[in-house]
């Protein structure tokens, strides 16, 4: 099955004071570089959802797709942009796998486990969970539902991911914290604030 990976970086990074937090370093490497390294081997194609000048991401060699819904409509707008790209560029693609572009500790079996969980539960979509907390933007989304999502965004003004997923057969897949030889790390840790970058540096330890 062909799966397109979608890195969600379309937000405004308000908690970081604006700018592109994904282009800030953690342990001597850019945050986005670390996320790409984690997710690229798990998917057939990888794209980046980001708004503004796409040239700032040229060094990563990824297609950059902007939201088509105006005014920073949230992660659902980014997911729709990914679904549209997959429909136009990968005709055989049935699913996209979305992850936030600020999560440097993503599991290396994330997509395979999400797919297994979705197939086992017989659902239409699925998202990840860790430490008892669901992560709505870490999930698998069917390309065939893109027009339904577009209508929900444009006609209903829908913005909450969980309000959209509640309309379909939906499941969550639980992931444990990693860290056999060091501190436990939530695999979906987000670097949202300056202090999160400091925490991530500590979690990386000497391996970096």
> pLDDT tens string for the chain (208 positions)?
899 999 999 865 444 445 688 999 998 999 999 999 999 999 999 999 999 999 999 999 999 999 999 888 899 999 999 999 999 999 999 999 999 999 999 999 999 999 999 999 999 999 999 989 999 999 999 999 999 999 999 999 999 999 999 999 999 999 987 654 455 789 999 988 888 888 888 877 655 5
pLDDT of residue 173: 97
Residues forming a β-bridge with 2: 93
How does DSSP classify residue 176? P
Q: Could you tell me how far CA 40 lies from the centroid of its own chain? A: 12
Prediction pTM value: 0.92
How far the first Cα of the chain sits from its last, in Å, is 33
pLDDT score of 208? 54
Residue 11 is predicted with a pLDDT of: 62
Rounded to the nearest 10°, the torsion over CA 63, 69, 70, 74 is -80
Supply the pLDDT for residue 192.
Answer: 85
CB 76 within 8 A of CB 158: yes
Is residue 3 within 8 Å of 97, Cβ to Cβ? Answer: yes
In 3D, which of 123, 47, 55, 54 has the Cα closest to residue 78? 47
pLDDT on residue 145: 98
| Cβ atoms of residues 100 and 93 within 8 Å | no
Segment 111-138, tens digit of pLDDT: 999 999 999 999 999 999 998 999 999 9
31-39 and 110-121 are packed helices; what angle lies between their axes, rounded to 10 degrees? 50
What token pair was written down for 175? Answer: 């992931």
CB 175 within 8 A of CB 186: no
What is d(CA 183, CA 203) in angstroms, rounded to the nearest whole number? 7
Q: Report yes or no: 77 and 153 within 8 Å, Cβ to Cβ.
A: yes
Length of the chain: 208
Alpha-carbon span 81 to 57, nearest angstrom:
17
Contact 156, 73 (CB under 8 A): no
């Amino acid at each position: 099955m062909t799966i397109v990976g979608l890195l969600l970086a379309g937000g405004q990074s308000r908690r970081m004071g604006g700018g592109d937090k994904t282009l800030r370093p953690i342990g001597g490497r850019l945050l986005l570089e670390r996320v790409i390294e984690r997710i690229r081997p798990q998917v057939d194609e990888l794209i980046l959802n980001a708004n503004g000048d796409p040239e700032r991401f040229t060094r990563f060699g990824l297609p950059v797709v902007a939201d088509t819904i105006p005014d920073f409509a949230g992660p659902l707008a980014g997911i729709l942009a990914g679904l549209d790209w997959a429909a136009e560029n990968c005709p055989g693609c049935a699913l996209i796998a979305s992850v936030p572009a600020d999560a440097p500790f993503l599991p290396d079996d994330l997509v395979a486990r999400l797919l297994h969980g979705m197939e086992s539960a017989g659902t239409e979509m699925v998202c990840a969970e860790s430490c008892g907390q669901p992560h709505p933007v870490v999930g698998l989304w069917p390309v065939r539902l893109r027009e339904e999502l577009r209508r929900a965004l444009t006609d209903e003004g829908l913005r909450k991911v969980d309000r959209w997923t509640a309309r379909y057969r939906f499941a969550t897949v639980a992931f444990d914290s990693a860290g056999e030889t060091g501190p436990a790390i939530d695999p979906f840790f987000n670097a949202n604030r300056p202090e999160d970058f400091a925490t991530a540096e500590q979690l990386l330890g000497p391996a970096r």
